[in-house]
Amino acid sequence: RKEVEQDPGPFNVPEGATVAFNCTYSNSASQSFFWYRQDCRKEPKLLMSVYSSGNEDGRFTAQLNRASQYISLLIRDSKLSDSATYLCVVISNFGNEKLTFGTGTRLTIIP
């Protein structure tokens, strides 16, 4: 089993719709979780951290489910500009040096 797994997609979603995707992780000792966004041919950029209690930033909501070992990202009222690849990142408590990336979920918002 991979340390961090994501559905690669692509998710093709009409503008204005709500879309959600998950990221599962195998190490139960993982402590820190993040969602990054990567546009085509660009570097990944932090979208949001994922806190234990869940957190929201505008149209974006991130949640953590420790029991089932996954994090989720919900995008409401999707915009054309949301088209990108979304990467989840997990930092395990042990060592705290290496970050593990998922392979990313590609999202395309359709006009």
Among 64, 73, 87, 107, binds other proteins (CB under 8 A): 87
Q: With CB under 8 A as the rule, give the number of residues binding other proteins.
A: 23
Is the Cβ of residue 43 or residue 67 nearer to other proteins in the bound state? 43
Identify the CA nearest to 87 among candidates 31, 56, 43: 43
* 68-98 burial: b if 16+ Cβ within 10 Å, else e: eebbbbebeebeeebbbbbbbbbbbeeeeee
50-79: contacts with other proteins (CB under 8 A): 51
Q: How far is the CB of 75 from other proteins (least distance, A)?
A: 20
Given the rule CB under 8 A, which of 17-25, 59-67, 73-81, 93-101 is the region that contacts other proteins?
A: 93-101
Among 21, 24, 30, 44, binds other proteins (CB under 8 A): 44
Rounded Cα–Cα distance for residues 57 and 67 (Å): 24
For 43, other C-beta atoms within 10 Å of its C-beta total 7
Supply the DSSP symbol for 80.
G
Residues that bind other proteins (CB under 8 A): 31-32, 34, 36, 41-46, 49, 51, 87, 89, 91, 96-99, 101-104
